Structure 1
Amino acid sequence: MTGTHTQNSVFSRISFAMMEDTGWYRADYSHATPLDWGRGLGCNFAMTSCKQWLNAQRLRKKNPAPFCERIKGDPLRTECSPRRNAVVLCNLVRHDTILPRQYQ
């Protein structure tokens, strides 16, 4: 299941495979929901870290989607997803102190 800020969670083929890998479930893949997040972004998106992807997009002066780089404000600012089929919210938080290494 993907992370979600709404009630519209996605149980994708990846979610089903992970559940099957636990040995506790057998999935009926015909009920999987299409997972559009990251679709069509290529192997680099799937094989590199989020930070590497963001840095590469910055160098190319490209949109960082499906990630965001805006610090969460008050009031919250929502916008349309790049595919214009969902409302998205960037919820990054600026920390005034250095985060412990395990959280960096």
Structure 2
Amino acid sequence: MTGTHTQNSVFSRISFAMMEDTGWYRADYSHATPLDWGRGLGCNFAMTSCKQWLNAQRKKNPAPFCERIKGDPLRTECSPRRNAVVLCNLVRHDTILPRQYQ
């Protein structure tokens, strides 16, 4: 399952494998849904932190992350699969974040 604040959670093959690894579940992989987030971006995407990925992408497209501050009105766009409306929920903090969140 993916972390999400929408109704579109994804139960991917990775999610199923993690649940099976607990020993509590036996997954039916035919019910897995595609996990498109990060798809095709290579091992470097999967093996580095979000911050490392974004730093490496500074002069390029930061996808699958966004870099626009959420505005008013909200600016929506199509999802990569063109089956949903998405928005960037990046916010600017007016105060310095505690060190553990930087």
Provide TM-score, normalisation by structure 1.
0.85
- CA-to-aligned-CA distance 1:38-87 (integer Å, 9 cap, x gap): 11101111111111111111xx6321110001111122111123454432
Q: Could you tell me which runs of 5 or more consecutive residues in structure 1 were left unpaired when the two chains were aligned.
A: none
- Relative distance call for 1:55 and 1:83 in structure 2 (3 A) is farther
- CA-to-aligned-CA distance 1:14-60 (integer Å, 9 cap, x gap): 11112122222111111111111111101111111111111111xx6
- In the TM superposition, residue 3 of structure 1 has moved relative to its aligned partner by 2.7
SS of 2:15's partner is helix
Provide TM-score, normalisation by structure 2.
0.87
- Relative distance call for 1:83 and 1:62 in structure 2 (3 A) is farther
Q: Could you tell me which runs of 5 or more consecutive residues in structure 2 were left unpaired when the two chains were aligned.
A: none
In structure 2, C-alpha distance between the alignment counterparts of 1:70 and 1:46, rounded to whole Å: 23
Is 2:32 the counterpart of 1:28? no
Instruction: Provide the identity percentage.
Output: 100
The number of residue pairs the alignment matches comes to 102
Report if the CA contact (8 A) 1:65-1:82 is conserved.
no
SS of 1:79's partner is strand
